[in-house]
Amino acid sequence: MTSIQEGQTPAAKTGEALDAALATVRANISAFDGSYPDDTTSGGVYLPRPAKGQFPAGANRGWTTSFWPGMLWLGWELTEDEQFRGAATANIASFAERAEKEIDLDTHDLGFLYTLACVAPWRLVSDERGRSAALLAADHLMTRFLEPAGIVQAWGGLDDVTQSGRTIIDSLMNMPLLYWASEQTGEDRYASAARRHTAQLRDHIIRPGGTTFHTFYWDPVTGEPLRGSTQQGYTDDSCWARGQAWGIYGFALNYRYTKDESFLDAARTCADYFLDHLPADGVAYWDLDFTDGDEQPRDSSAAAIAVCGLIELATWLPDGEARAHYRERAAWIRDALTADYSTAGHPESNALLLHGVYDWPSSVGVDEGTLWGDYFYLEALARAVLPDWTLYW
């Protein structure tokens, strides 16, 4: 565990931002009362995850539930307050049961889910149940690896012909679970799948000019790359802001575990386009095709992910102008979020960040707080005050 050392004083505004964010996370422990909140706020407030099919309200389903324990583990590292650790630990049983009983596992998002809910407690407090559950999740993720395309299928069951051979840029963030599984087991097959998957995205999901597709299809039988398309972006050939941010952080994390320079170059390509297409205040519109003057919402969650990604990218660059540039742009965006998008001074909301967009084309979670935006904002603040912070990813 990394905690703030004596004499390591964060910039006052970052310290205040952190205090405000942690006060909200602390209040949410009792507000959520052991239930999982919905993916996004409704009118600025998180409600319990709605009941769906066999799942009662507040159940552990979907791809975003782990951002809550992720915030709690960060809270514990930042404060050493046992209330955070207790609330974070309480989630492990639910994630273990989900993996053991194979509940709602037909997704590539097992990386998001199990890295924050189960790898984090293994890294921080050597929690064995967390480790076993994360290894089960990694095994399940491997069942989605499609030969000969060399990609992990993103969505749907493996028999779902509409999703067969399709992956999405977000998937890059799910690869650290596979590198971790290789470290833990000594078996290279997990890491090898992650390397192949990332190389396919490097070659096909990034377009000439540095924009990215949200999703891309391969022929599941021959492995031939077919076509890009969007799901949550404005059009098939626009550049969905959160996808570009996943690209920055995801390729940089894949570099961390492989030291494949082409992955670091891919992260830079995503970063340069993202930074060149920001509005004046530094917080991206939900699709990078929009800018100042467009009557469109921002996506604060894309901004928060990009901050973490830019810091990760800078970590791996040699000391020099480029590294300083990405660090400076990360701090600029983070400070913009704190100043104008955080809920400090907005007690009516229990999110950390306002003005996120989940899925504009489907009108879901538009101009709301988002669980992942909150997590990455807190990670961005933690990275600012704990420069030696050990990643959960």
Spatial distance between the Cα atoms of 111 and 393, rounded to a whole number of angstroms: 9
Query: DSSP class of residue 60?
Result: S
Angle among Cα 385, 373, 112 to the nearest 5 degrees reads 95
Nearest distance, CB of residue 88 and ligand GLY, angstroms: 22
Nearest distance, CB of residue 233 and ligand GLY, angstroms: 11
Output 220 or 373, the one with its CB closest to ligand GLY. 373
CB neighbours (10 Å) of residue 32?
Answer: 17
Among residues 38, 39, 104, 170, which one is catalytic? 170
How is residue 286 written in tokens? 């939900």
Output 178 or 384, the one with its CB closest to ligand GLY. 178
How is residue 381 written in tokens? 């603040």
- Lookup result for tokens 């398309």: 229
Count of residues interacting with ligand GLY (CB under 6 A): 4
Nearest distance, CB of residue 302 and ligand GLY, angstroms: 9
CB-nearest residue to ligand GLY: 170
| 160 in active site | no
CB neighbours (10 Å) of residue 390?
Answer: 11
Question: What residues from 5 to 34 belong to the interface with ligand GLY (CB under 6 A)?
Answer: none
Rg of the chain over CA atoms, in angstroms? 19
Nearest distance, CB of residue 231 and ligand GLY, angstroms: 9
| 276 in active site | no
Q: Which of 108, 123, 214, 242 binds ligand GLY (CB under 6 A)?
A: 242
Whether the ω angle into residue 148 lies within 30 degrees of 0, i.e. cis, is yes
Output 89 or 244, the one with its CB closest to ligand GLY. 244
CA distance to 114, 237, 324, 371, per residue, from 175 (Å): 11, 25, 27, 20
Query: DSSP class of residue 292?
Result: T
Among residues 106, 109, 299, 367, which one is catalytic? 109
Query: DSSP class of residue 58?
Result: T
Output 197 or 242, the one with its CB closest to ligand GLY. 242
Nearest distance, CB of residue 240 and ligand GLY, angstroms: 9
Residues 6+ apart with CB under 8 A from 251: 172, 198, 201, 202, 263, 264, 266, 267, 270
Output 250 or 282, the one with its CB closest to ligand GLY. 250
Q: Is 170 in the site for ligand GLY (CB under 6 A)?
A: yes
Site string for ligand GLY, 348-377 (x = CB under 6 A): ----------x-------------------
Q: Which ranges in the chain belong to alpha helices (H)?
A: 12-32, 67-79, 82-89, 92-100, 110-114, 120-125, 128-142, 175-185, 189-204, 241-258, 261-276, 300-315, 321-340, 371-385
Number of H helices, E strands in the chain: 14, 7
Residues 6+ apart with CB under 8 A from 196: 150, 151
Output 72 or 168, the one with its CB closest to ligand GLY. 168
Site string for ligand GLY, 194-233 (x = CB under 6 A): --------------------------------------x-
Nearest distance, CB of residue 135 and ligand GLY, angstroms: 23
Nearest distance, CB of residue 362 and ligand GLY, angstroms: 11
Backbone conformation region of residue 131, classed left if phi is above 0, alpha if psi is from -120 to 50, else beta: alpha
Output 17 or 201, the one with its CB closest to ligand GLY. 201
Using CB under 6 A, list all residues that contact ligand GLY: 170, 232, 242, 358
* Residues belonging to the active site: 109, 170
